[in-house]
Copies of this chain bind each other. A is one copy, B any other.
């Protein structure tokens, strides 16, 4: 990143007092056209377009942080984004900023929305979420040298400030828990491989590592990838479970709560008792999962903390005092409930 140019440097380059430069850039005083021209020439020479200069002046700052997210399908909980938003609203205000929320748009239209907010000086920085692999917003904002922090990781080789939850660690906890309950025949329902999110890949990595550490090999047909919705999980589970007790999995790990509910419905329709005949786990610990019958074991993400750290990292960047560590990975926690807590004695 190009370094941050201060008013002091512009003043030194223009040979004009700091106070005058500050006031002129801040539209607090009228000076001669000549003086004004000298100030702007110095600013331009330092390689910044006027917006960057305006942003560097606290009094010209918008006091706003932009935030936009891709909505979830209506049958799925968007609790994660609601919580995240509440958290960044809370912590941004603590450090003197408000959140400007703007709509999700597909593809390059989204970039235009970000560009527009930058060009019109509406925001001082962005908090990104719904991060994908190859997410075009990241190189765009880096190219603009515009402050941002992301909730989520993108391509491993990209360097940018982010906070994320360690999905691999969450899945290792799930697998280790199931193994400790006696499960060896474990099946996994993941999202499609073509889905560009790195979230699924990280979670899968955690599963495979924990299985490998335990010396468990699962047949490839017990790793399903597809739409990642209720129907896909339901259909897949029916296929796996509609077999003799020695030929079916004893535990199904899913990558989301809605998929876990799909698997639970499949078991129910085959008259199997979840928690006794079969263990099922979800991810996200959405509201009401604790009240399902049986209650669902799920991985809970520390979303409030993600929001707090994201706001703090961005504040550091905006203040010109960036924190040492700008890539933070938080541990999720496994909430063990009835859907997986019965000891299982392998047949």
Chain A residues proximal to chain B, CB less than 8 Å: 27, 30, 63-64, 67, 71-72, 74-79, 81-82, 85-86, 89-90, 93, 98-103, 122, 230, 257-258, 261-262, 264-265, 268, 286-288, 290-293
Given contacts A100-B99, A122-B63, contact A78 B85 (CB under 8 A): no
- Please name the residue on chain B nearest to A231 by beta carbon: B291
CA distance A185 to B327 in the complex (A): 59
Chain B contacts of A27 at CB under 8 A?
Answer: 27
Identify 20 new A-B residue pairs, CB closer than 8 A, beyond the known A261-B292, A262-B291: A63-B122, A67-B101, A71-B86, A75-B288, A76-B288, A77-B288, A78-B82, A78-B287, A90-B103, A93-B103, A98-B122, A230-B291, A258-B288, A258-B291, A261-B291, A264-B293, A265-B291, A265-B293, A268-B293, A288-B288
In the docked arrangement, what's the CA distance between A286 and B82, Å?
A: 14
* Complex CA distance for A81 and B86, rounded to whole angstroms: 11
What is the oligomeric copy number? Answer: 2
Q: Which of A98, A265, A290: most chain B Cβ within 10 A?
A: A98
- Closest beta carbon of chain B to A128's beta carbon, Å: 16
Task: Tell whether A287 pairs with B77 under 8 Å between CB atoms, given A86-B71, A122-B63, A293-B265.
Answer: yes
Decide if A98 touches B98 in the complex (CB within 8 Å): no
Q: Report the Cα distance A63→B120, complex, angstroms.
A: 11
Q: List chain B residues, Cβ under 8 A from A72.
A: 287
Q: Are B291 and A288 in contact (CB under 8 A)?
A: no
Are B75 and A77 in contact (CB-based, < 8 A)? no
Contact among B30, B74, B86 with A287 in the assembled complex (CB-CB below 8 Å): B74
Closest to A258 in B: B288
Instruction: Check B101–A101 contact: CB distance below 8 A.
Output: yes
A77 to chain B: closest residue by CB: B287
22 contacts between A and B (CB under 8 A): A30-B30, A67-B101, A75-B290, A75-B291, A77-B79, A77-B288, A82-B82, A85-B85, A86-B103, A89-B102, A89-B103, A90-B103, A93-B102, A98-B122, A99-B100, A100-B101, A101-B101, A230-B291, A257-B288, A261-B288, A265-B291, A286-B288
